[in-house]
Amino acid sequence: MHGLEAKYGNQVTFVYLDIDDPATKPFKSQLGYLYQPHLFLLDGQGDPLKEWLGYTVEAELEAALLAAIG
């Protein structure tokens, strides 16, 4: 994820929701966050475009980012 952030961080905002951080609980509840890793790709309004539960390969994440960026 950090590699993708380094590559696309000027076009996409990356936010990390730590499962142990109570300050992120409202966001986790709103998204239906279950456990790590649970990744979400949100649009500019905060609506989910895609999500991944469990480990996934970088190429799949990158393809989704590129599709969302347009």
Q: What is the mean pLDDT of the chain?
A: 92
Q: What is the pLDDT of residue 35?
A: 83
Average pLDDT estimate for 36-61: 93
> How many domains, in total, are found in the chain?
1
Q: How far does CA 32 lie from the centroid of its chain?
A: 13
pTM, 2 dp:
0.85
Residue 20: what pLDDT? Answer: 87
Mean pLDDT of 11-24: 90
- Where does the pLDDT of residue 11 fall: very low under 50, low under 70, confident under 90, or very high at 90 and above? very high
Residue span of the structural domain in which 53 resides = 2-69
Range 53-70 average pLDDT: 95
Distance CA(6)–CA(8), nearest Å, equals 6
